[in-house]
Structures are given as structure tokens and as C-alpha cells.
Structure 1
Amino acid sequence: MQVLKFGGTSVANAENISKVISIVQAAAQKDTTVVVVSALGGVTDLLLNAAALAAEGNETYKEKLVTIEQRHMDAVKQLIPVASQSQLLSLVKKSCNEIEDICSGIFLLGELTARSRDRIGSYGEWLSSQIIAAAFRAQGTAAEWKDSRELITTNSAFTHAEVDFSVTNTKIAAFFTGDYSRLFILPGFIAADKNNITTTLGRGGSDYTAAILASALQADVLEIWTDVSGMMTADPRLTGNARIIPSITYQEAMELSHFGAKVIYPPTIQPVMNKGIPVWIKNTFAPQDPGTLIESSAARNGDIVRGISSINNIALLSLEGSGMVGIPGFSKRLFEALSSEKINVILITQSSSEHSICVAVDAASAARAKQAVDAAFANEIALQKVDPLLIESDLSIVALVGESMKSHPGISGRMFSAMGRNGVNVRAIAQGSSEKNISAVIATRDVRKAINVLHEEFFETTYKQVNLFIAGTGNVGAKLIGQLQQQAAVLSQRLRLQVRVAGLSNSRHRLIKEEGIDLGKWREELEAGQPADIDQFVSEAIARNLRNSIFVDVTANEKVASVYDKLLQKSISVVACNKIAASSAYENYQRLKELAGEFNSRFLFETNVGAGLPIIGTLNDLTHSGDRVRRIDAVLSGTLNFVFNHYDGSRPFAEVVRQAQDEGYTEPDPRLDLSGTDVMRKIMILAREAGENMEMEQITNNSFLPASCNEGSVEDFYKALAKEEPHFRALYEEAKAKGCILKFVACFDQGSASVGLRHIDPAHDLYHLYGKDNIVLFYTDRYTDQPMVVKGAGAGAAVTASGVFADIIRACKL
């Protein structure tokens, strides 16, 4: 004996029903088969909507009835030969007339009772099962139709009627004894009470009907045929990496079904679990797929967590008050008040101080819950011993399910750490002593992100997905994008990172694509994007709420630097090539670092000093390991080093500076480099990272640039440089006369800092520094006589982009 159940999608139309017939015909060759069917897809909703509209006095309910009748008529005409249609069409018409009469009565009374609701709702399964049974017979397969209301008896309740198993089992056993055909078709969902009044088993109740039959008949197997190939590790609509669970225990399936896994109706498991009947979840549209097997034990396959599920539209109810402490009975009264309103409690948590009790309920019940609870505690509320019931809405529950969790410490820690790293705030937590389920209440807007990060944490050993939002697509930005494209395969293979550029913005356009921007066509896609607006770009990035998000600033724009705090507070890490934030007022610099720590994000700016050189990282390693920086000597401007390495008096100083700009070593306005302002920022950042509270005005700038060069436009600047050529030649000649070269040196020494041109003799560590190279000498408690030296290319788009890239990888490892 086998029982097969087909859901609404499986029997949505004639084409799908033909697939069902093929599946059943193959199965029925092996054994006596009982088939339970749902209503044609969407029909139950149409019926209940029509009834609700009628109760509201809205005559558009008649349009719903016309649609219902037409769908059933079409199914008959497509499945049944013309010569055999008349009797079945007459049955459909008669039933639709009955539905219309009931709705007309509801319309006149202006009331939809639970009894009428169940009666209306029952017609979907009743009609579909009649049509499907006739379709089998039309294809030459003997099929006997049986009304489930004659077999399944409930106690007198509606919409979620309780089954009387003793009576039901007796009726089923009596019917299935005797010389019957090998194929039976029954409607799911519907039943009758002891007075033969139609009741229903709740939405999704066809699964339950099939389980009741399988249990009473001691069936060898129960198959639930639906539109997916089994139970999945997570909702595939929320994560594209969800996978089929090959096998699962009854208890795990029950937990997942209660927490939002729509593949199986929650009460279905209990009847078959008691009898040890295996359950298969199969796909009507891919019958060759193995599906999911539910039984008493299941192979682990290395997965500690079996699945991740969620329930949306949750409200959190909190009863709080100092008058509750040490006084027994408050919980009892709370749950009695909720029970009196037939409000189901989904999650419970209570503080050990007994100051508060928190429960989660369906959001639709929250208003009734507040009214009932406030009434129950009216006296305590009046005496201010208890506060009025507090309701928090727009919440959901995310749950980890798995029997193996109980023997593996740290699962809760991993769960909450993964969500915390992505800014998912947990409002309440519940875990049973069986440790099969860990549930957390979170904001509904965070559900997609939470499920994705948890799925990544517990199921995806292949890669971690990272989403970048890049501001700035100039020289450095373009090089960075090229490097990301070039290294995509390496990141996936070696670091198991899938780095996607989800957003791009420059001074003209902005673009955000959740699925990722094609890095081979980013210029064209960005050009077709929306007008540039950094505030809007950031707001959209935050609103997308993508997991493992990183904001990358490769601009020199003050407006862009001003948005870091908004991002960090949303647990979006910031990687900044832009020096403005780290060199802004110390209070702002410190606040950004504190926000990163507070909200589990990273604020990284390695390229602020030395482009791609690991200067800040080295400094942090020294200080974090307990060393103390006493002095820093550094050449920190690739531009100035390039200029003074190439200026020998044989050609004008202005020409050498122009060359540096053309080769991409200077800022857009070279005066930021030549004035020493950029170097001042860099030495201040290093001083701050060494633990010094320093501002720009505390740094001495011994500028070599004449005042005339600081006026007007960039072109005016070059004209002034040309006029001041004697000044620059004199600087060079003075150094040369001493056997020295010129270097623009930054120095931090015991709390004070300065920048300026210095004569460097051949014995000095800074002498052998060529091209655009930078060098930093760290003198510390551990490196006293011989400093720690970091030296290398300190300018250029490619090396700067590589430094930004390295920071991105560091942020990924959070």
C-alpha cells in the first residue's frame, strides 16, 4: 500500500494533471495506490476571496466565481473525451451553482461564519478530485473516487479541525477492506464532524489528509509530490545557493515545517512518525530527481545544521514590570489571555530577573493580543506594577534546525557571529533543551541577508560572497576594477571568495546591480546609469542590505569621505584610498574607528600612506604587539621624490613636475603634493596610528614653494613655477655643493611632527631612494639603533589599486 499526495501546483491545470496521471500510472503498477489531491492551483484562494468579498457586500465576488467555474470547465474539456464530458460538466456546473447560492446568502447576511468558510473552501478539492478520477478512467485506468468526508471525522471545530483518530482509523480500515480496485482518488483538506458537517484541516491540509490515510492503512510509503525536488537547506527564493537535503529525520522535518518550510504542512509528520512510515518529497515536474526522504534516522553527510528556515510577519509582545519579580502566576495569566483569543504563541523567552516575558505571535493577532493582555493585567497596570503590553512589529524569525547541533558546541556562537558581522540585530532568542532548533527574532528587512550569511556559514564551503560598492572610477579606480576582474578566478580558488562589484559611482553616473556588474563592460553599464549622487548611492547600497558589503572610496572627494559613518553604522566596512577622513579632525578620525569596532565592520586606509606599501599595517603590527614608536623618519611623497630625483638643473623644475603629473604620480592639483600638505596628512595619520592625538595645525611645514605658486589655477601654478626657476635651481645647487641630494622628509619625534626639504648625504638611510619610491623608518623600543624599514614604490595607479585590493581582502576576513 502506498499513498501519494499531489499539491495545487501539481494539479493546477490539464497539462499538469496529465503529468500526475503518468506518475500515478507508473506507481500503481507496483502496489495498491491511494492518491490525495489538492484543489486546482489558486482555486482555494479564489473561493475564500469570493466569500470574503461577499461578506463585505462587494459584488465583484461574482467575477471570482466565473473564473472558478471556467477553470474547472476548461480542465474537463481538455482532459475528458467529448463523448464523456456531459456528466462531469453537469457536476461542475451544479457545484458552481451551489457555491454561488452560498455566496449569495453570505452577501445578503453580510457575515462569513467559520462554518460557511469551510463549506466554501471544500469545493476546490472536491471538484479537482472528481475531475482527476474521471481523467484516469478516460485513459483506461480504473480509479475509484472516494469522498474524504466519509472517512476523516473531526471534533466540532472549523478551519483547523481536530481529527478524531479512533473514529477515523476505524472508518478507513473498514473502507479499505474488500475487493477494491488498485487505485483510489480522494480530495485532500476536507473532512466532516460527527454530525456530517463539512470541516477543513487548515491551509495545506491535503498533506495531513494523506498522512492520516497512510498511518491508518500502515502504508509502506507516503509520497508528497510538489513543485520542488525536496526539502532544501534554505528558501531558494532567498538564497540562490540552497540545495536539496537528501535525507532528514521526522523531528528535523517537523521543526523546519513549523518554521516556514512550505514544502510540507506541519501536522503531516506526526501520524507517519508514530508508525515509522517513510515520507518522500518529490517533484511532479522532475520525477526523476531523487527528492528528500524523511524517516526516523538520516545520513549526516557532514552537515551539523540540517536547514535554515524563517517565519515572516511576526510581532514581539513584551510584558514588563518590577511587580512581576518573584510573584508566581504572571506567565500563566499571560498565556491564558492569549489562549482565550485563540492566539498561537510561536516563540517564548523570559529574562532570569523575571522582570519581563517576551513572546512572538503572528502580526495579524498583535492588536487582539494587546487588548486581551492589557485587560487581564488592568489592575497591575493601573498600580504601575506592570507596563501595558509592548508590541514590536515588522519582525521575522530565523531558525537553524538540526539534530546534530546538540553534540557540537559553538553552533549558537557561529550563528550570532555571522549575523553580527553583517549588522543583523537579534531582538530575541529561543533554544529548546533538545538543541534541535535555535531561533532568533530579527527585523524583516534583514531576513534575506541573515539567511544568506547563515547558509554561507553552515553550508557553503566553496566561497564567501562579497559585495563591493566602489566610488571613483578614475586612474586608480579603473586599475582596481581591472585587477578584480583579473584575479576573480584566483580569489575563488585560493581564498574561496566571490567578489562582486555591486555598485559603481563616479562624478557623472551611479549604478547598482545586486547580481553584480559585468567588469568587462563596466564603463558602458555605468554610462547608462543614473545621475551621480553620492548620498543616494550610499542610501541605495544600505537599502539593498547585501551580505558582506564593503564600500571602497578611491576618490579624493570630501563629500564621499563624509558618508563613512553612515556605512559603518550599518556594518558595511569602508576601504578608503581617500585621505580626507583619516586626516580630518582627530575627533572624527577616532569616531570612525570606534564605529567600526562597535558595529563589527572595518575602517581600512592602508593606501593613505605609501600607496601599496604595507606601512600602516606594519605600524599596527608593532603597536598591537606592545611595541612603542619613538620616532618616524619618512619620505612619503612619491611625487616629490620623483621630482627631486629627476631635477638636476638641466631642464626646468616646472617641466619635471609636469612629467610627474602626466605619469599619474601627482594629485589632480600638484600643489597638494609640492606644498607639503599631502605629506603633512600622511605623517599625521602615522602619528595617530602610533597612538598620538594630533591635528594638522600641530605639524610644522617648512615649505620650499614660493608664495606666488599657490595662487590661481593649475595652469597659473605652472606659469609661476617657470618664473621661480632660479629659486629651485638655487635649492639644488646648495645641496649639490654639500655632496647631498634633496629629499622632502616627514618626521615624527616624541609627539611632534614636521615636514620639509632636507639635505641627505650618501651615508643616510634615505639617500638611496629612486624614482617614485617611498621609505619609512620606524624607531621603536624594539628597533632602536637599526630601524624597521618599509621601502618601495609609493605612487602610481597600479600599486595604489593593489593596496586598495589588499585592504578589501583584509575586510573580507572579518
Structure 2
Amino acid sequence: MAPCHLHKFGGSSLADADCYRRVAHILLTHGHSSDLVVVSAAGKTTNFLYKLLSLSDAGQLWQEELQVLISYQQTLIEQLLSSDTARVLRERLSTDKAQLVSLLSLEQRNVYQVNQTVSFGERWSARLLAALLREQGVAASHVDATSLLIADEGAVPRIRHEESRNRIKACLANHANERLVITGFICANEHGDTLLLGRNGSDFSATLIAALADIDRCTIWTDVEGVFNADPNKINDATLLSSMSLLEADRLARLGSPVLHSRTLQPLFDVDVSLAVRSSYASHTDFTLIARESTSASAPVVTSLPEVVLLSLQLAGSADELLAELNNQGLTALASWKQGPTHLSLAYTHELAEQVSSWLAGQTDNFAISSLTQSRDYGLVALVSSGAHLYRRSFARLLSRDALPVYQDGLSLVTLVPSPQVNLLTQKVHRRCAGPRKRIGVVLLGAGNIGQAWIDLFRRSVKQLNTELEARVELLGLVSSRKALIREEGIGFDNWQQDFDNAGESWSYPQLFEQLAALKCDELVTLDISASASLTLHYPEFFARGIHMVSANKLAGSGPLAFYRDLKRQLGFRRLYWRYNASCGAGLPVQHALNDLHNSGDRVEAIGGIFSGTLCWLFEQYDGSKPFGELVLEARALGITEPDPRDDLSGRDMQRKLLILAREIGLELELEDIALVSLVPEALAQVSLEEFLSRIDELNEPLAEALADARAQDKVIRYVAQLDKQGGKLKARVALEQVEPDHPYANLTPGDNVFVIRSGFYQNNPLIIRGPGAGREVTAAAVQSDLAHICRDLLQEQ
């Protein structure tokens, strides 16, 4: 069976005997008999071998240090293997020790002898792990990668892909159904001399062999669970990423990720091999999967480097051509900034900065470079995401005046700041851009016509809203007078009506509050799109539980003054929001306008208008050609009035709306403080609806007389709400009034509302707001606007 998986284990995963046992268990439980394994040197073995070379070169004693290293390997053998197998490996180790003594005793060593010395760590790991697997009944062999990977020499060995692929395929054919444990970090030239693959060479070995062997997945087992959206050693609430695209991973690696290295990823670009990063210490936990295309929405990752070098050039040549040539030379900058046509700044790691400076010094004539300076006072902070552009504004707002402007490419945002600022800015960027998205739950109270219109509007706008807010606003509940549907996972838009219809048939407020308290969200906003008086009486409990409110229901805003004061007091005590623009004027920005006037230092002196679309329609239509009562019945048949027209004709609705506006400008009034002259005769106010409709002709004479009286004075009649506090004396009244034909109340589109506001700034020419003041869509839009405002206010407090 052809191998489908390659497992790579680093030095930290092979640090002691328990680690080796853990690795063997992983291979037995997470793989197949034909899987490949690539290993690094155990623990700090490679560093120890370099130390021996340094001691030898300096003419210092190295024999005792070598014995420490050999003893470490002997202890691993004794602790892991049975006596017979251990004896064989001890004999091999004794031979290796003699070879090391010979190499370290040389007065001069060529590069191949140095490489040979350093490579013993990987050979010991492969040999020991293969023996351990065999003792556990697994067919396994160790393989020296110098027999598989052939390379041309250079600053970094250049692998001969076709020749290496053929050798790997031949090796697999000779070891069918056998686990091969291959040395990482090393390869060979065409003469068989050992070459080193450089920093992080074992990871590169793993992805390279996986690509050449046509393996589906390569897993790098390390001491961390995967790639986090920030360094978990620096950011307490850093979270593990379930997936990343290969391009995102590569950009993150180039910007200094401690887990990923760009060279490791390069073999994966031309093949269909996914890369998993997992913890060998917790193999049961989640991990990060890197593939050509990420399987989930791209999550932003914040990374940083405490120190970078900023190279600044003055040049007369083309900056773009210079950047392109740097890329061709494998010297791509972390980020670059062009200040005008002659100045270019480049950010590099300390490891690359000297090499780049040397190369640039040799290109002075080619690119007309007149000066080159270095600054080592900066660190780097970056955000990586395929949607990086969505975070530019938030990222830029966090920068101090000492920071360089944001560099942006298709996958990242990068800035440099003075080194002491790196940690603080990294934390700020993570919290603002990459931290857990604040989850704002929404519960709709009232699933009737307006509620359905709001759901349709929310469905269309929520994606854009979440993008703008950089948050998750989700519909978690639907509640009507008869049933309640609350879902932690959210309510799907496609089948919400069916799901709601199948919900339980009854609920109580204790049950509802218990369910709301169990929802896992940072904030909860309820939308009261009902006309329920009992619901408004529970507003104090909603606020006591930290739940924000949007009201289209006008009963709370126009309730008893003591109740209203208590609600406002609760909001003041806690960080809570209650918006109720939809309760007066539907989508018309009346309360917005009043608040803006207040914030600008103006003082509102009078508010008046026609706040009922029904009464507007009736009096725009009423010209005496048909009796008023007949016109009311016509409006009822068209659905313009409430089922009981007295709800409109009484003026009580306009009285409540005027009270809401009065309180909005700071007047502490009760409903009874606003005089009300109803259009319903007292004799008809308390009778049944059926009797009222049968006696509706009793409305005709009073309205006909009012119309005739107005016409005698060249005026028209309108049902008007009016509040005026000019001169320190308050007048508040809702009644039928006579107005001039050119008055703002006189010429409206039937069904409109009109609000006329007079203030210190708007005296002789008042502020007029006019438009549809009722209707499903405009009311739903007002509710959505209030919801968006609350969400923005909440997120600005972060």
C-alpha cells in the first residue's frame, strides 16, 4: 500500500524516553503501516555537537562533553529497549563514538567532515525510534536521508527533484508495508558527501519528502498544538486556528512566526499535500491544517518581531525594479515604504540585513543608490489574513506617531514601531482585530408583520453589518405572545418560520429569562416589536439582567413618569442602551434630530406635527364630498386604520408619541399633562366595536361643521399634536386644528407623518421632517438602525 501520511517529530518531541514512548503511541494510533516518519535529533543533541566542534576548534578539552552526550544516548537506549536490542544499538553507538573521536581530533576539518559530525543526532534518533517500533511488533526500518535526497551544493543545498523522487520511490518499493524512519536535516551531494539543509532543515525534509513521494498529508508534531492567532506566550487569549491557506501560512512564516518557516512550506506549492501542525504532547487536541485553500473563513493572525533592521536608501533609479531584483535574489523585504520617487525604506530581520546591505553596496551604480543607512531601533507588528484589507482602518487607528505608515499587500498589514512599543501594540492589534469577535445576540420580541419585515431586512444586511463592526451579530431568539424559540447556535434564516411554528406552545417570563441567561454571548439585545403592555412592565428585569432594548413599542416610553425615570436610572447605573426611535415616526430620524440639536448646544422650544399616517390620510382626503364616517369605513377596508378605528381617532397614539418626544428633550411630563381632544364622541368611546361601526355616522356632523368653519377662514383642518414651551409656559395639546393652506401640515402625501421643530437655531424657518411614519418596512428599518447604533456603541467601548 502506498504511503498516504508522513509524520515529522522534532527534537522537543524526542527529548527523553517518555517522549519516545509517546511518539510510538502516536504512530500506532494515528497512522498506517506504510506511513513515513522523519525525525530530528533528540532534545538539544545538535547544539551539543556544534559545541563539541567549537571546543575542538578552540583547542579546549571536549572528551568529557562527548561522554555526556554518549551517556545521554545510552540512557535512552537502556530505558526504551530490551536487553538484546539495546546491546545491538549500544555497539552501534560505540562505533559512532569512535568515529566522532576521530573527527573531533582532526586539527582541520573540511565542510563535509563538519556536516558528518553534526548529523549524528538525526541518525541516532532514526535508529532508536525504528528499534522501539519493532519491539512493539511494527515492521520498521531506519533510513539515512543521504541515500534519498541528492542536491547540488550552494549557500543552501539545491535538491535534484527528479533524481531524489526516483530514489524515494525505489526505497518505498523495497520496504512495502513497513514504517520507514528517515533522518531529517541532511542530504548528500552526487558523491555521497553529507550536506546540511540548514535552519529548520528537518521540517523542510518532511515536506520535501512528502511532496516527492506524492503523500496526501504531512504532519509536523511539535510541542505546540498548532498555529495560534497570536503568540500564546504573550497573548493570554490567543486562540488556535483550525485552518489556514498555504499563502497565508507562508506570509506569516516570512513575518517571523515561531511555528512556521517559509522554507518548510515551499515544497507544498506545486503539489496537493496538506500540512498539519499538532502537539505530540496532546495528540487528542485540535490542530491547525494548512492547505492550498483554507476550509473555513480566514481568521486574522497577529505576529511580531521584537527587533528588525530598517534600511533607508536614496536612489535615482527605479524603486520598483530594485524591489523586483531583491525578490529575484531571495532577499524579499518584510515590508517596504516608498516616500516619493527617490526614497525607499526596507525592513529585514537581523539575519538578512547584513547580506542585503552587502548586496545593495554592490548595486550602487546599477540603481544609482546615493546613500544607505541602517536603524536597529525598530520592531515589527503585523496582521496576516486573506481579508487583511478589512482590518486596515482598525489597525491604523492603533498606531502611535512613532510608527511607520501601514504597509499593505494582499495578505498582510505591517508597521514598524520603536522596539519598546512592540508588545503593547501587538496586544492592542490582537484585541481589536484578531481577538475573539464580540458576539452580540439578538432576540426578537414580536414575530408579526413588522417582525417578519425586520427578519428579511436583517438577513440582507447582517453580513455587511458584521464586517463593518468586526463582530458577530446573530439572531438567537424569536418570541411571540404564544411561543418562544431560543437557540444558542442561532436561528437559520431559510427555515425560521417553520422552526418557529414548531416551537413550544407556551412560555413564561421566568422560563424566558432563564433561557436568555444561558446564551453564550458577550451582549444581548432584545427588540420589542410588539404592542404589549405586559412586556413593557418587564423592562426593568431585562435591564437588571444586563439586556439592551430596542423598542418599537411606545408604551414604555410613554408610561408613568416614575416608571420611565426608573428605567432611565437603571440605564445610568449600568452600561446599558435603550433606543426607541421606531416608537415615534417609524424610520423618520426625529429623535436623532432632537439629540443632534441638543448635542450642538441648541434648545428645542416647540415640537408639533401630524404623527399618525391614518389621520393624515383621512384629513388629506376629507373635502366634504363624502361624509367623514364613510371615509373612515373606506380607510378601514383598505387596512389604513387599526381594526378598531377608535384607536386612531381617539388621538391617544399621537398623545403618547408627543409625550415620548417631550421626554426626549428633557421635559418630565405625564400623559395627562398633554391635553387630548378626541375625534370620537364620548357616547361612542366605550361601546362595542360593532355598535361603534353601526353608529359611525355620528362623526359626520361635528367634522362637517369644523370643515365649514375652516373654509370660511380660508383654512384647512388637520389633527395635530403640539408642544410649545416658549416664554416659560408649557402648552401641550393633541386636537383638531385649523391651519393655513401653505402650512407644513396642510399639503402632505396621504399617509405621511410630519414633524415641525422650532429651536433657538430654527426660529422663523423651523426644521421639518416629513415622510412615511408607519409601515412594515420603514418601522423595521428604524429598528435595524437602532440595533446597529447599539452594537457600535458597545464595540467602541472595547
Calculate the TM-score normalised by the size of structure 1.
0.51
* Aligned 8 A contact 1:675 1:705 in 2: yes
Equivalent position to 1:18, from 11, 26, 31: 31
* Aligned 8 A contact 1:776 1:791 in 2: yes
Does 1:678 find its partner at 2:675? Answer: no
Equivalent position to 1:756, from 727, 735, 738: 735
SS at match of 2:556: coil
Cα offset for 1:716?
3.5
In structure 1, C-alpha distance between the alignment counterparts of 2:651 and 2:23, rounded to whole Å = 74
* Aligned 8 A contact 2:614 2:641 in 1: yes
* Partner AA of 2:614 in structure 1: T
Q: Aligned runs of 1:361-760 on 2, under 5 Å? A: 457-459=432-434, 466-492=440-466, 499-533=473-507, 535=509, 536-661=511-636, 663-667=638-642, 669-750=644-725, 751-760=730-739
In structure 1, C-alpha distance between the alignment counterparts of 2:568 and 2:662, rounded to whole Å = 15
Cα offset for 1:498?
5.0
* Partner AA of 1:807 in structure 2: D
SS at match of 1:591: helix
In structure 2, C-alpha distance between the alignment counterparts of 1:10 and 1:551, rounded to whole Å = 52
Does 1:134 find its partner at 2:109? Answer: no
In structure 1, C-alpha distance between the alignment counterparts of 2:621 and 2:239, rounded to whole Å = 56
In structure 2, C-alpha distance between the alignment counterparts of 1:717 and 1:11, rounded to whole Å = 88
SS at match of 2:591: helix
Identity percentage of aligned residues: 25
1:236-279 CA distances to partner (integer Å, 9 max, x unpaired)?
A: 999898777956989999xxxxxxxx98799x9xxxxxxxxxxx
Equivalent position to 1:5, from 2, 13, 17: 13
In structure 2, C-alpha distance between the alignment counterparts of 1:607 and 1:654, rounded to whole Å = 30
Greater displacement, 10-19 / 746-755: 10-19
> Relative to 1, partners in 2 of residues 1:130 and 1:669: Cα closer, same or farther, differing over 3 Å?
farther
SS at match of 2:140: coil
* Partner AA of 1:780 in structure 2: S
SS at match of 1:743: strand
* Aligned 8 A contact 1:2 1:220 in 2: no
SS at match of 2:13: strand
Q: Structure 2: 5+ residue runs without aligned partners?
A: 1-8, 46-83, 86-128, 144-179, 184-198, 204-219, 261-276, 295-299, 307-378, 383-394, 401-419, 794-798
* Corresponding residue number in structure 2 for 1:339: none
Q: Aligned runs of 1:28-39 on 2, under 5 Å? A: 28=39
* Aligned 8 A contact 2:227 2:241 in 1: no
SS at match of 2:11: strand
Cα offset for 1:644?
1.7
1:285-343 CA distances to partner (integer Å, 9 max, x unpaired)?
A: 9587999xxxxxxxx9765799xxxxxxxxxxxxxxxxxxxxxxxxxxxxxxxxxxxxx
Cα offset for 1:490?
4.3
In structure 1, C-alpha distance between the alignment counterparts of 2:462 and 2:289, rounded to whole Å = 34
Q: Aligned runs of 1:237-386 on 2, under 5 Å? A: 246=252, 303=303
* Corresponding residue number in structure 2 for 1:385: none
* Partner AA of 1:5 in structure 2: S
* Corresponding residue number in structure 2 for 1:797: 776
In structure 2, C-alpha distance between the alignment counterparts of 1:561 and 1:636, rounded to whole Å = 22
What is the number of equivalent residue pairs in this alignment? 496
* Aligned 8 A contact 1:746 1:755 in 2: yes
* Partner AA of 1:743 in structure 2: R
> Relative to 1, partners in 2 of residues 1:542 and 1:281: Cα closer, same or farther, differing over 3 Å?
closer
* Partner AA of 2:589 in structure 1: P
SS at match of 2:732: strand
* Corresponding residue number in structure 2 for 1:778: 757
* Partner AA of 1:554 in structure 2: I
In structure 2, C-alpha distance between the alignment counterparts of 1:524 and 1:305, rounded to whole Å = 53
In structure 2, C-alpha distance between the alignment counterparts of 1:10 and 1:672, rounded to whole Å = 77
* Aligned 8 A contact 1:666 1:673 in 2: yes
Q: Structure 1: 5+ residue runs without aligned partners?
A: 37-86, 89-128, 144-181, 186-217, 254-261, 269-279, 292-299, 307-401, 414-432, 441-452
In structure 1, C-alpha distance between the alignment counterparts of 2:434 and 2:41, rounded to whole Å = 40
1:382-440 CA distances to partner (integer Å, 9 max, x unpaired)?
A: xxxxxxxxxxxxxxxxxxxx9969xx999899xxxxxxxxxxxxxxxxxxx999599x9
> Relative to 1, partners in 2 of residues 1:648 and 1:588: Cα closer, same or farther, differing over 3 Å?
same
SS at match of 1:680: helix
> Relative to 1, partners in 2 of residues 1:581 and 1:455: Cα closer, same or farther, differing over 3 Å?
farther
* Corresponding residue number in structure 1 for 2:767: 788
Equivalent position to 1:766, from 741, 745, 754: 745
Cα offset for 1:641?
1.1
* Partner AA of 2:227 in structure 1: G
* Aligned 8 A contact 1:612 1:799 in 2: yes
Cα offset for 1:566?
3.0
* Aligned 8 A contact 1:570 1:599 in 2: no
In structure 2, C-alpha distance between the alignment counterparts of 1:32 and 1:730, rounded to whole Å = 104
SS at match of 2:657: helix
SS at match of 1:811: helix
Cα offset for 1:733?
3.5
* Aligned 8 A contact 1:569 1:596 in 2: no
* Aligned 8 A contact 2:444 2:526 in 1: yes
In structure 2, C-alpha distance between the alignment counterparts of 1:580 and 1:130, rounded to whole Å = 78
* Partner AA of 2:740 in structure 1: D
* Aligned 8 A contact 2:242 2:287 in 1: no
* Corresponding residue number in structure 2 for 1:358: none
Cα offset for 1:16?
2.9
Cα offset for 1:611?
1.2
* Partner AA of 1:22 in structure 2: D
Cα offset for 1:473?
1.4
* Partner AA of 2:733 in structure 1: S
> Relative to 1, partners in 2 of residues 1:472 and 1:668: Cα closer, same or farther, differing over 3 Å?
farther
RMSD, matched Cα? 5.2
* Aligned 8 A contact 1:509 1:530 in 2: yes
> Relative to 1, partners in 2 of residues 1:804 and 1:17: Cα closer, same or farther, differing over 3 Å?
closer
SS at match of 2:512: helix
> Relative to 1, partners in 2 of residues 1:804 and 1:669: Cα closer, same or farther, differing over 3 Å?
farther
In structure 2, C-alpha distance between the alignment counterparts of 1:668 and 1:762, rounded to whole Å = 31
> Relative to 1, partners in 2 of residues 1:219 and 1:697: Cα closer, same or farther, differing over 3 Å?
closer
In structure 2, C-alpha distance between the alignment counterparts of 1:226 and 1:238, rounded to whole Å = 16
In structure 1, C-alpha distance between the alignment counterparts of 2:497 and 2:28, rounded to whole Å = 46
* Corresponding residue number in structure 2 for 1:100: none
In structure 2, C-alpha distance between the alignment counterparts of 1:698 and 1:284, rounded to whole Å = 66
Cα offset for 1:639?
1.6
1:631-652 CA distances to partner (integer Å, 9 max, x unpaired)?
A: 1221111121112222334445
In structure 2, C-alpha distance between the alignment counterparts of 1:510 and 1:482, rounded to whole Å = 19
* Aligned 8 A contact 1:9 1:227 in 2: no
